Amino acid sequence: MASSEISQQQAPIAVELSGIQKVFPNGTRALAPISLSIREGEFVSIIGPSGCGKSTLLRLVAGLATPSAGNIRLSREVRDAAVGFVFQSPTLMPWSNVQANVRLPLDLLHAPRAEADEKVHRALERVGLNEFAHLHPRELSGGMQMRVSIARALVTSPRLLLMDEPFGALDEITRNRLDRDLSALCARERLTVLFVTHSIYEAAFLSSRVLVMSARPGRIFSDVAVDDPTPRIEAFRSGESFIRLAARLSATLATAMHEAA
């Protein structure tokens, strides 16, 4: 465990935020100055009360919004491979089948068809959906639709994956299963992940680091390192370390909300 900590400390920085602020046109201060470094291979969860700016932070890193002040630096490796983004809902094109949905990022980059299809095949394999390539989204369950969405984010072989409460709308059984698969996938491919969630247990299960935010304006209240080895397996959920972590996060979150109020 100590060694994994050291290697993580030494890993190069993938994302660096310095003095990021966001003020919306209506004057709402969504984010107070936030500075933060994320190293390659870290699985960073962000939890916090609703309206604390978690999603805004993610959109800023994705380049979907621009900060009012401060700057965001992505490492070369992260920038060169397109950043993968997974939304709260599956956000699939209902008129296209699974294969075409996953191929979309490559199509937009005008990638050659044969090469693109090969990458789609591999991405679907990674989420275990290859046999459903020709179905349309509405023919799939919510959990499967989310897997398609993840395959689409993976198809460009990103180094950084941004996920905005991806499993929030799913039932607990499906969510636990997807969390397990995601943990295995990220550990195997050493992906850097920024994961927004409103579930303390999901954050505790997945993360190598948890950021607890407080609201109005959003800022990082606490930065908790989790040293347990990845990938996490189901047994981790009943282990002492998980339970202690969840209790600690829960207490921190309560304090963060109390301070804001």
Partner 1 sequence: MNDRDWLRYAAPLAIGALFLLLWHALVVVNDVPAYIVPSPLLVFKTLVRDWGMLSGSLMVTLEVTGAALLAAVVLGVALSVLFVQNRLIEAGLLPYAVILQVTPLVAIAPLIIIWVDDPRTALVICATVASIFPIITNTTIGLRSVDPGLLDLFHMHGASRTQTLLRLRLPSSAPYFFAGLRVAAALALIGAVVAEFVAGTGGTRSGLAYQILQAGLQLNIPRLFAALILITASGIALFLVVSLLSRLVLRRWHESEVSAEP
> What is the enclosing helix (H) or strand (E) of 177?
helix 172-189
Q: Quick check: 95 binds partner 1 (CB under 8 A)?
A: yes
19 touching partner 1, by CB under 8 A: no
Q: Does 81 help bind partner 1 (rule: CB under 8 A)?
A: no
Residue whose C-alpha is closest to residue 203's, from 240, 245, 234: 245
Q: Give the orientation angle of helix 172-189 with respect to helix 142-154, to 10 degrees.
A: 20
The one-letter amino acid at 260: A
113 to 142: interface string for partner 1, x by CB under 8 A: -----------------------xxxx---
Contact window for partner 1 (CB under 8 A) among 16-24, 68-76, 89-97, 207-215: 89-97
Nearer to partner 1, 194 or 245 (CB): 194
Q: Which long-range contacts (CB under 8 A, 24 or more apart) does 121-128 make?
A: 123/151, 123/152, 123/154, 123/155, 124/98, 124/99, 124/151, 126/151, 126/154, 126/185, 127/151, 127/154, 127/181, 127/185, 128/181
Q: Which is nearer to partner 1, 94 or 240 (CB)?
A: 94
Q: Is the Cβ of residue 110 or residue 258 nearer to partner 1 in the bound state?
A: 110
Distance CA 47, CA 96 (A): 34
Stretch that binds partner 1, among 28-36, 39-47, 50-58, 87-95 (CB under 8 A): 87-95
Q: Does 93 interact with partner 1 (rule: CB under 8 A)? A: yes
- What residues make contact with partner 1 under the rule CB under 8 A? 62-64, 82-83, 85, 87-89, 91, 93-96, 104-105, 107-109, 136-139
